[in-house]
Amino acid sequence: MILDDFYLARFPITQAQWSILMKDNPSEFRQADHPIEQVTWTDAGEFARKLTQAAEMNAHFTLPAEAQWEYAARSGGRDDLYAGGDDIDAVAWFEDNSRGSTQPVGKKKPNGLGLYDMSGNVWEWCRDTYQADAYGCHDHHNPVIESSSPDRVIRGGSWNLDAWSARCARRFNFRADFHGPGLGFRLIMSN
């Protein structure tokens, strides 16, 4: 697989960042430095569109493709169990250590690329349409699956789920219009 260069945000989008561009904060756990949650795939796309319009540079923001997300979570292709290593307590907020809510971003150890919270805290929406056998159908260059299906990919696990769900390899899906207390996102930037 070959991916063109991309820049991925160091953290999931926080509630403070969300509030700059969006009217309402839908989060259940309201703290400026916590990740935004309770957002749909469509909400995340609207935030990316508004950020692209507001940017004072020639940049485009969007949700990462699933392949981009996994490559980044695995520190550029390593075989880590979680984003940052095999010790989940060091790198992730999940049901055993989250104290029943999201947590401030960037408080756990980053992965090898300096990215935080790619395992745990909130699931992250990806651009792709969910397909169970996606790895067998991907293009070799910049793979992304986009179809008319309403189901979209989420990755990374959440504060309210077990360690198994926070693995780099874990894939799951929800309808694009679904929102929940464990659903957030981060963005990529391209020129």
Secondary structure of the chain in HEC code, one letter for each residue: CECCCCEECCCCCEHHHHHHHCCCCCCCCCCCCCECCCCCHHHHHHHHHHHHHHCCCCCEEECCCHHHHHHHHCCCCCCCCECCECCHHHHCECCCCCCCCCCCCCCCCCCCCCCCCCCECCEEEEEEECCCCHHHHCCCECCCCCCCCCEEEEECCCCCCCHHHHCCCCEEEEECCCCCCCEECCCEEEC
Which of the following CATH numbers is that of domain 7-190: 3.40.50.1370, 3.30.565.10, 3.90.550.10, 3.90.1580.10?
Answer: 3.90.1580.10
Q: What is the pLDDT of residues 56-103, one digit of tens each?
A: 888 999 999 999 999 999 999 899 999 999 999 999 999 999 999 999
For the four alpha carbons of 17, 161, 144 and 142, in that order, the dihedral sign comes to: positive
**Distance separating alpha carbons of residues 109 and 171, to the nearest angstrom:** 22
**Distance separating alpha carbons of residues 92 and 107, to the nearest angstrom:** 9
Q: So what's the pLDDT on residue 137?
A: 76
Taking the alpha carbons at both ends of the chain, their separation in whole angstroms is 21
Asked whether residue 139 carries a pLDDT value surpassing 80, the answer given is no
Instruction: With cut-offs at 50, 70 and 90, classify the pLDDT of residue 117.
Output: very high
For the chain, give every domain's residue range. 7-190
Q: Average pLDDT for residues 171-185, to the nearest whole number? A: 96
Asked whether residue 165 carries a pLDDT value surpassing 90, the answer given is yes
